[in-house]
Structure 1
Amino acid sequence: MKIDGVIYLDHQATCPLDSTVFAEMMPYFEGRFGNPHSSDHAVGWRASQAVQRAASEIATLIGADPDEIIFTSGATEANNLALLGLAREGLASKRRRILLSSIEHKCVLEIGRALSVEYGFSIEHLPVDSQGALDLDALENSIADDVFLVSVMGANNEIGTIQDIERISRIVGASGAYFHCDAAQAPSAMDVSRLADHADLVSLSSHKMYGPSGIGALFARRDLQPLMQPTILGGGQQNGLRSGTLPAALCVGFGAAASIAASEGGDHRRKQLADLRDSFL
């Protein structure tokens, strides 16, 4: 697309807001502006229903249930909640190693450093090949019953490499470790309809799939949530895992974008993008 005469190709940084998504959001900037946590009046109920519907749409995108979706400010916060949120559970166990792919997003690598310095976990970086694909032999050689968690992104934000998440999941699952997948870039690049079957924790970002900026989500398996600690304290919203008043308009936009990504139109858009990439190269 063109912006002020400039051809914009940096969709891995952020996507333009889809016009259909914007149309879905608009009413929640106007007459449907209620606080979704206000449970004593109809305005709050309507906002809450809209947020719940958005959670359902996002859950459908990755094959999860709505109560497993925790809204965040974006994928960075989702990554923090996933890894730091489970850290105390790791401290209580004998599993003190965490494996990260060497090409994870900077925020995941920074969280790894914090887990090492502040919590004493042993952080190991798994190698990738010349195309950015995770070395699965290295993963199999590194995995053991002392590994607490493995984090591998679905689609790389710099070079676009799509990882074999299903196979990685089988290797990690066999060891009893948790598997986290940063899937911020994934919905625009790959089929994510069964991602919740393969990962225990999945980070998502709205603005990487033609939704609004400032909103993301963490999928956390239902049975994992009681083991997690919040990284933001406050009024106890979202089962106490992420406090703060949810922005109904942004949630609605995120849900609408997820619906498009999960539709046949989303499949067509991914194929069209791949064709354009191949033609350009």
Structure 2
Amino acid sequence: MPYLDHAATTPMLPEAIESMTEQLGRVGNPSSLHACGRTARRVVEESREIIAEAFSARPSEVIFTSGGTEADNLAVKGLYWAGRARGRGRVIAGAAEHHAVLDAVNWLAVHEGADVHYLPVDELGRYRAEELERALGDETALVTAMWANNEVGTLQPVPELAALAHAAGAHFHSDAVQAAGILPVGLDGLDAVTISAHKLGGPLGVGALLLAKGVDPVPVLHGGGQERDVRSGTLDTPAIAGFARAVQVSLAHRDAEARRLTALRDLLVREVLAAVPDAHLNGDPTGRLPGNAHFTFPGCEGDALLMLLDARGISCSTGSACSAGVAQPSHVLLAMGVPQDLARGSLRFSLGHTSTEADVRALAEALPPVVERARRAGLT
């Protein structure tokens, strides 16, 4: 059964399962001072060192969280509040961000009086440095722009955007959940970077905010003062161990896997366009995530296509899994200028470490009758 939804979550790597399972049979709160607690703490700190090295950070700059959403909220809210204390009340957020960022920014606008500016994207889904430069000012507390778009796969000019933010005295955060593990991603030159374990072969429910030394967001969670007093809560030792092992394995094979997925993605694009000639590839055709292919199918509803493919054993997505079941067109496509009727007929196919050429061929074979049926349904 072809699984083409790795952007939503990718199967755990066997090595990560082994590392996590080993810890599940052990007891010990890593904040406890007895021997069991110290053993758990050693696992956590060794994992922290592995993740830090992989993402150009110091171990003290790795703040463990429950996943990407929590890390995004900590960065967006915490850095806004810290900036507001310095007299800076503006947040600049990309218009095509994940909802973990957009909804946090909107919450700040509604409940905290934040002055919010949304950075537009071009027709390929890319933020432009000149647009950010025009929006920046002395009142800007935070700029947040993702490393790579989670829906259409377009890569963003993160170093250039971060340099502009810093020149204006603002902090810069990037949600790198989709890029980490498959592209060179790191904290170098940034203030905060979000990563998530289950997108790179680790377990669900654990992630990290890479937080530069000297950058101190106001905490969102309060309690025991763990994680630099920024994120309180008992650390999940087994999940963190699985996270670190997945990072190790993905980093060891990153470049080769990126080349393999790029070739497989290009094959998928050719096969889909041959099967459905009027389909349109969204996002940058070359400057995109290696495993991402996002299409619009005119005359179809994306949900109908998804369910028809699912009935044939093919798993894919209409966009972010966090927005699945929401009966509205993708905010990313709308921000790119795609008309609503076309935006509703989109599907995301995302590849990962278990993907094969056979998966792509199965999709190409299934698409023509599925699209035809979906179009007939749309006419009734």
Q: Tell me the residue number matched to 1:205.
A: 196
Question: Do the aligned residues in 1 keep the contact of 2:72 with 2:175 (CA within 8 Å)?
Answer: yes
Q: CA deviation at 1:221?
A: 1.2
Q: Tell me the residue number matched to 1:7.
A: 2
Amino acid at match of 2:259: K
Question: Do the aligned residues in 2 keep the contact of 1:98 with 1:124 (CA within 8 Å)?
Answer: yes
Q: Does residue 37 of structure 1 match 2:25? A: no
Q: Tell me the residue number matched to 1:217.
A: 208
Q: CA deviation at 1:90?
A: 2.1
Q: Does residue 270 of structure 1 match 2:261? A: no
- Once the two structures are superposed, residues 80-119 of structure 1 have per-residue CA deviations (whole angstroms, 9 ceiling, x without a partner) of 1111122322222232211111100011111111111222
Give the distance between the partners of 1:167 and 1:203, measured in 2 at CA.
18
- Once the two structures are superposed, residues 146-203 of structure 1 have per-residue CA deviations (whole angstroms, 9 ceiling, x without a partner) of 21110000011111111111111222121111000001111144211xx211210111
Question: Do the aligned residues in 2 keep the contact of 1:187 with 1:261 (CA within 8 Å)?
Answer: no
Question: Do the aligned residues in 1 keep the contact of 2:181 with 2:247 (CA within 8 Å)?
Answer: no
Q: 238, 241, 246: which is aligned to 2:230? A: 241
What's the TM-score, normalizing by structure 1? 0.92
Q: Tell me the residue number matched to 1:88.
A: 81
What's the TM-score, normalizing by structure 2? 0.69
Count of residues in correspondence between the two structures: 269
Q: 195, 218, 241: which is aligned to 1:252? A: 241
Q: Specify which structure has the bigger relative contact order, considering alpha-carbon pairs within 8 angstroms and separated by 6 or more residues.
A: 1
Give the distance between the partners of 1:187 and 1:239, measured in 2 at CA.
23
Amino acid at match of 1:29: L
Give the distance between the partners of 1:12 and 1:150, measured in 2 at CA.
24
Q: Which has the higher Rg, Structure 1 or Structure 2?
A: 2
Look up the SS of the partner of 1:150 in the other structure: strand
Give the distance between the partners of 1:202 and 1:19, measured in 2 at CA.
26
Pairs within 5 Å for 1:141-220: 141-192=134-185, 195-220=186-211
From the superposition, tell whether residues 234 and 121 of structure 1 become closer, same or farther in structure 2 (CA, over 3 Å). same
Q: CA deviation at 1:33?
A: 3.0
Give the distance between the partners of 1:28 and 1:16, measured in 2 at CA.
19
Q: 98, 107, 110: which is aligned to 2:103? A: 110
Q: CA deviation at 1:268?
A: 1.2
* Structure 2 portions without partners, runs of 5+: 270-380
* Structure 1 portions without partners, runs of 5+: 1-5
Question: Do the aligned residues in 1 keep the contact of 2:79 with 2:142 (CA within 8 Å)?
Answer: no
- Once the two structures are superposed, residues 237-277 of structure 1 have per-residue CA deviations (whole angstroms, 9 ceiling, x without a partner) of 223211111111000011111112322x1221122111111
Over the matched positions of the two proteins, sequence identity in percent amounts to 39
Question: Do the aligned residues in 2 keep the contact of 1:182 with 1:202 (CA within 8 Å)?
Answer: yes
Q: CA deviation at 1:9?
A: 0.8
Give the distance between the partners of 1:145 and 1:274, measured in 2 at CA.
41
